[in-house]
Amino acid sequence: MELYLMTWPEVETYLKRTQKIIIPVGSTEQHGPTGLIGTDFLSAWDIAKDVGQLTKTVVASPICYGMAMHHLAFPGSASLKPSTFVLMIKEIIESYALHGFRQFYFINGHGGNIAPLTTAFSECLTDKQALEFNLVNWWLQPSVAEYEEAAFGDANGFHATCGEVSVTMACYPQAFAVPRALEYFPTTAQHPWPLSPAQFRATFPDGRMGSNPSLATAEHGRKIFALAVQEISTLLRV
C-alpha cells in the first residue's frame, strides 16, 4: 500500500474506502560513530511500510529531512530550519487534504521533529475542514520503550540509541557488514537545550547522547521493529 507505487486512479479508488494516510518522517543526521546517517527516516519508513501492509493503509513518500540544526557540525548531516519544516509539512498536508485524505498518521523517527510537526498540525486545524492528526513517535511506543529499558537500561541513551541502531542493523545488514570501531566514554547528562551545532559537538564529541551502541544487535532490532509495527498497527485499526 505504497502511494508512490500506485497510479492516480488507484488512489482515487482507495479514497472511496478510507481517508487514512501514513506519512513517514525522519531526518538526515549523524548517529554517532556506528549509526547510519539515514537512521531516522529509514526506520520510520520501514516501520510505516509494514504498518501500511498490515492495516491496508496507504503510505506516502517518506520525508527524509527534518529539524536537525544541532547536528550540522558533523559531516553528512543536513537540516531544514524549523520554519521551513513547518511550512513543508503544512503544504504536504494541504495537498493530500485537497484530494480527500482526512486522517493523517505521521510515523516519526526523530525527536527534533516533534515540536515543528505539532506546530504544523495546529496551523492546519481549522473549522473549514475536519482533519485528524496523529503523531506516532515509534521509539516512544510503550512496548518498545519497555523492551529497550529491559535490554539496555540507561545505556540506551537519548541519541544514537541502542534501539534505533539495532533496528537499522536488522533492516540494513549490508551497511553493517564491516564492524565500526566505538571508543566508548560516558557523555554529559547536564547541558542546556537547545545547542548550536558547535556547542552540540563540543558537548557530545562523537555524536552520541548517553548511549552505548556497542550493545546494539540485529536480533534486538528485529524484536523492536516487530513491537513497533504491531503497536502502531493496533492504533490505526481503531
CATH of the domain at 135: 3.40.50.10310
pLDDT at 53 over 80: yes
Between the alpha carbon of residue 93 and those of residues 20, 76, 116, the distances in Å are: 12, 28, 14
All cell numbers assigned to 155: 545505556
Q: Give 209: exposed, middle or buried? Use CB within 10 Å, 0-12, 13-18, 19+.
A: middle
pLDDT at 238 over 90: no
Domain span at 148: 3-237
Q: How sure is the predictor about 232, in pLDDT bands with cuts at 50, 70 and 90?
A: very high
pLDDT by residue (tens digit) across 81-104?
999 999 999 999 999 999 999 999
Would you state the pLDDT for residue 64?
A: 98
Q: Give the count of domains, the chain.
A: 1
Percent of the chain clearing pLDDT 90 (strictly above): 97
- Sort residue 154 into left (φ over 0), alpha (ψ -120 to 50) or beta: alpha
All cell numbers assigned to 104: 493523517
Would you state the pLDDT for residue 9?
A: 98
Residue 125: CB atoms within 10 Å? 13
Would you state the pLDDT for residue 129?
A: 81
Amino acid of residue 45: W
pLDDT at 139 over 80: yes
pLDDT by residue (tens digit) across 160-188?
999 999 999 999 999 999 999 999 999 99
Query: Which residue do the cell numbers 493530500 mark?
Result: 96
Percent of the chain clearing pLDDT 70 (strictly above): 100
All cell numbers assigned to 217: 544487535
pLDDT at 233 over 90: yes
Collapsed DSSP state (helix, strand, coil) of residue 160: coil
Residue 174: CB atoms within 10 Å? 5
Q: For residues 68 and 111, give the distance between their C-alpha atoms in angstroms, rounded to a whole number.
A: 9
pLDDT at 27 over 80: yes
Q: How sure is the predictor about 226, in pLDDT bands with cuts at 50, 70 and 90?
A: very high
Q: For residues 17 and 14, give the distance between their C-alpha atoms in angstroms, rounded to a whole number.
A: 5
Q: How sure is the predictor about 12, in pLDDT bands with cuts at 50, 70 and 90?
A: very high
pLDDT at 80 over 80: yes
Would you state the pLDDT for residue 74?
A: 98
Would you state the pLDDT for residue 170?
A: 98
Would you state the pLDDT for residue 149?
A: 98
Number of residues written out for the chain:
238
Would you state the pLDDT for residue 128?
A: 78
**DSSP letters spanning 35-87:** B-TTHHHHHHHHHHHHHHHHHT-EEPPPB-----GGGTTSTT-B---HHHHHH
